[in-house]
Amino acid sequence: MANKKIEVVRGIDLQTYMGRWYEIASFPSRFQPKTGINTRATYTLKEDGTVNVLNETWLDGKRSYIEGSAYKADPKSDEAKLKVKFYVPPFLPVIPVTGDYWVMYLDEDYQYALIGQPSRRYLWILCRQNQMDEEVYNQLLDKAKEQGYDISKLKRSTHSDPPPPSEDDGPKDTKGIWWIKSILGK
Per-residue pLDDT reduced to its tens digit, 74-118 = 999 999 999 999 988 777 778 889 999 999 999 999 999 999 999
Name 66's bridge partners: 55
Q: What is the pLDDT of residue 126?
A: 98
CB 104 within 8 A of CB 143: yes
Q: pLDDT: is 186 or 23 the higher one?
A: 23
Mean pLDDT of 28-42: 88
What pLDDT, in 10s, does the model give residues 128-176?
Answer: 999 999 999 999 999 999 999 999 999 999 998 767 766 555 555 555 5
The amino acid that residue 129 corresponds to is Q
Q: Cβ of 90: how many Cβ atoms within 10 Å?
A: 19
CB burial of residue 77 (10 Å; 0-12, 13-18, 19+): exposed
Residue 96 pairs with which residues in a beta bridge? 87
Q: What is the pLDDT of residue 123?
A: 98
| 136 membership: H or E segment, kind and range | helix 134-146
Burial class (CB in 10 A: 0-12, 13-18, 19+), 148: middle
